[in-house]
């Protein structure tokens, strides 16, 4: 157990100064009860202590890797897909002022570790049933699609970088998941909120990315605050924020004036 956890600790390049503490914690960590659960990630998510989330994620990297290797998926894609683990662990350590090791985004990581999400260039692509239906596109909720996710890292979010990522995706799925047939990409995000068009220049990256999707529905949401100002930012914090970028300024002004924002669902033909 400890050996497996430390193997992935090294492969994912987690900070050396964490090593001793992770080694110690992994000595008494038993994943057997978690492996027996229907949704161990949901269970872990509810726990106060976030160290088991990190230990279980590191332990499950081995299964993820071995399963993916049966499909001959190259190591660089697998390591890139798992890099979220390090990002979340660093983020957790940061929000606890360097005092705690663990991670919080275990539900998301669970999807990656189950082999449903792959990082290809600037974007992440998820095998999943469509969240929504669209009569116009002939898509029913649950139909197989590829959901597109936008990590906050990995270089500029340019039109070219996105095009390259779709190109990689259209090589990846037919090659490694030939049985998975999909017609549409979907995206469910604050980035697709049509309101943002009023705030962004047409040459901006978000504007161009959003324009490649046809938005079919949206729900009121303040996700934009999370992504623009950090996790945990809410409407009640509007007066304390110090907007710096043009989008932050527009969004704060819009919300202060009683405007609404949305998380929007869109489709894009393969």
Ligand X SMILES: CC(C)(COP(=O)(O)OP(=O)(O)OC[C@H]1O[C@@H](n2cnc3c(N)ncnc32)[C@H](O)[C@@H]1OP(=O)(O)O)[C@@H](O)C(=O)NCCC(=O)NCCS
Alpha carbons 6 and 116: distance in angstroms, whole number: 24
Which residue, 59 or 199, is less far from ligand X as judged by CB? 199
Alpha carbons 5 and 265: distance in angstroms, whole number: 37
CB of 21 to ligand X, least distance (A): 29
Part of the chain binding ligand X (CB under 6 A), chosen from 24-32, 139-147, 172-180, 199-207: 199-207
Q: Given the structure tokens 């259209």, which residue do they identify? A: 170
E runs forming strands in the chain: 117-120, 123-129, 144-149, 184-189, 214-220, 262-269
Q: Which of 191, 225, 241, 261 binds ligand X (CB under 6 A)?
A: 191
Element (DSSP H or E) covering residue 134: none
Q: Is 247 in the site for ligand X (CB under 6 A)?
A: yes
The site string for ligand X over 124-163 (x = CB under 6 A, - otherwise) reads: --------------------------x-x----x------
CB of 2 to ligand X, least distance (A): 34
Q: Which of 8, 173, 185, 190 binds ligand X (CB under 6 A)?
A: 190
Part of the chain binding ligand X (CB under 6 A), chosen from 24-32, 49-57, 175-183, 201-209: 201-209
Part of the chain binding ligand X (CB under 6 A), chosen from 27-35, 52-60, 86-94, 198-206: 198-206
The CA angle 244-248-253, to the nearest 5 degrees, is: 110
CB of 127 to ligand X, least distance (A): 18
Smallest CA-to-CA distance from 170 within 112, 114, 115, 118 is with 118
Produce one character per residue of 89-128: b if its CB has 16 or more CB atoms within 10 Å, e if not: beebbeeeeeeebbbbbbebbbbbbebebbbbbbbbbbbb
Q: Is 245 in the site for ligand X (CB under 6 A)?
A: yes
Part of the chain binding ligand X (CB under 6 A), chosen from 40-48, 78-86, 213-221, 243-251: 243-251
CB of 42 to ligand X, least distance (A): 20
Q: Is 212 in the site for ligand X (CB under 6 A)?
A: no
Q: Given the structure tokens 């992935």, which residue do they identify? A: 8
Q: Which of 34, 228, 261, 267 binds ligand X (CB under 6 A)?
A: 228
The CA-based dihedral angle spanning residues 76, 168, 71, 126, taken in that order and rounded to the nearest 10 degrees: 100
Smallest CA-to-CA distance from 252 within 232, 234, 231 is with 234
Torsion angles phi and psi, residue 144, rounded to 5 = -65, 125
Alpha carbons 262 and 196: distance in angstroms, whole number: 9
Q: Which of 248, 254, 255, 268 binds ligand X (CB under 6 A)?
A: 248
CB of 98 to ligand X, least distance (A): 23
Part of the chain binding ligand X (CB under 6 A), chosen from 35-43, 73-81, 103-111, 245-253: 245-253
Alpha carbons 211 and 268: distance in angstroms, whole number: 10
Q: Is 192 in the site for ligand X (CB under 6 A)?
A: no
What does the binding site for ligand X look like in residue numbers (CB under 6 A)?
150, 152, 157, 189-191, 200, 204-207, 227-228, 245-248
């Amino acid at each position: 157990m400890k050996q497996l956890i430390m193997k992935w600790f090294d492969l994912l390049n987690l900070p050396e100064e964490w090593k001793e503490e992770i080694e110690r914690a992994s000595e008494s960590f038993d994943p057997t009860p978690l492996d027996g659960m229907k949704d161990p990630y949901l269970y872990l998510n509810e726990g106060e202590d976030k160290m088991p989330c990190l230990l279980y994620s590191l332990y499950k990297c081995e299964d993820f890797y071995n399963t993916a290797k049966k499909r001959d998926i190259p190591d660089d894609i697998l390591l890139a897909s798992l890099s979220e683990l390090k990002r979340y662990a660093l983020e957790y350590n940061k929000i606890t002022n360097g005092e705690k090791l663990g991670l919080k985004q275990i539900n998301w990581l669970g999807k990656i570790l189950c082999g449903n999400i792959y990082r290809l260039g600037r974007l992440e692509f998820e095998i999943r049933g469509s969240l929504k239906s669209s009569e116009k596109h002939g898509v029913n909720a649950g139909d197989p699609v590829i959901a597109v996710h936008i990590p906050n890292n990995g270089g500029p979010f340019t039109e070219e970088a996105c095009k390259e990522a779709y190109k990689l995706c259209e090589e990846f799925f037919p090659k490694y998941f030939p049985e998975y047939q999909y017609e549409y990409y979907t995206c469910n995000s604050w980035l697709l909120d049509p309101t943002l068009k009023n705030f962004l220049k047409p040459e901006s990256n978000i504007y161009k990315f959003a324009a490649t999707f046809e938005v079919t529905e949206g729900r009121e949401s303040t996700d934009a605050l999370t992504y623009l100002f950090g996790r945990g930012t809410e409407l009640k914090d509007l007066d304390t924020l110090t907007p710096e970028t043009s989008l932050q300024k527009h969004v704060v002004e819009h919300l202060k004036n009683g405007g609404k924002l949305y998380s929007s669902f869109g489709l894009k033909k393969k």
